[in-house]
């Protein structure tokens, strides 16, 4: 069962603020990555490339956590425990371009590498905690 994002949480997630994504490695150890994030309904969307540690971890174990801290107010925090419900290549190149527009103000993601296969990850928000300052 998913939790619902508040308007305050949505406002923070709509800004170009880095999120931290925690995944679980095959050996059970945690791994954390700063990344760009977006929202679709109450789901979180992130984009990565196949073969990266976080992608491998999410293929192996769908349980993740995401934290976003407002750089202007460190007490305005959204923390999510979630489950990866979809990882798709369809539309993933357009998604990373959209995120590049949000975060960098450019039309195309400038850090593509040759042969890279992008993947959009949809995370269901199972539990949302928010601390407001």
Q: Is residue 18 a contact partner of residue 36, using CB atoms and an 8 Å limit?
A: yes
Instruction: For residue 34, name the pLDDT band (cuts at 50, 70, 90).
Output: very high
What is the tens place of the pLDDT at every residue in 67-121? Answer: 999 999 999 999 999 999 999 999 999 999 999 999 999 999 999 999 999 999 9
Domain ranges of the chain: 7-131
Third-level CATH fold of 7-131: Pnp Oxidase; Chain A (2.30.110)
Which tens digits make up the pLDDT trace of 54-70? 999 999 999 999 999 99
pTM equals 0.94
Pairwise CA distance, residues 98 & 133, whole Å: 30
Q: Each residue of 43-54: pLDDT tens digit?
A: 999 999 999 999
Question: Hey, what are 29's tokens?
Answer: 């150890």
């Amino acid at each position: 069962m998913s939790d619902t994002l508040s308007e305050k949480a949505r406002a923070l997630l709509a800004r170009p603020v880095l999120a931290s994504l925690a995944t679980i490695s095959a050996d059970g150890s945690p791994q954390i990555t700063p990344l760009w994030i977006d929202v679709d309904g109450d789901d979180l969307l992130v984009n990565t490339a196949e073969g990266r540690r976080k992608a491998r971890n999410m293929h192996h174990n769908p349980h993740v956590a995401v934290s976003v801290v407002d750089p202007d107010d460190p007490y305005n925090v959204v923390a999510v425990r979630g489950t990866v419900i979809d990882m798709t290549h369809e539309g993933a190149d357009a998604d990373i371009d959209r995120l590049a527009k949000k975060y960098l103000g450019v039309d195309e993601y400038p850090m593509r590498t040759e042969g890279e296969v992008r993947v959009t990850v949809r995370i269901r928000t199972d539990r949302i905690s928010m601390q407001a300052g």
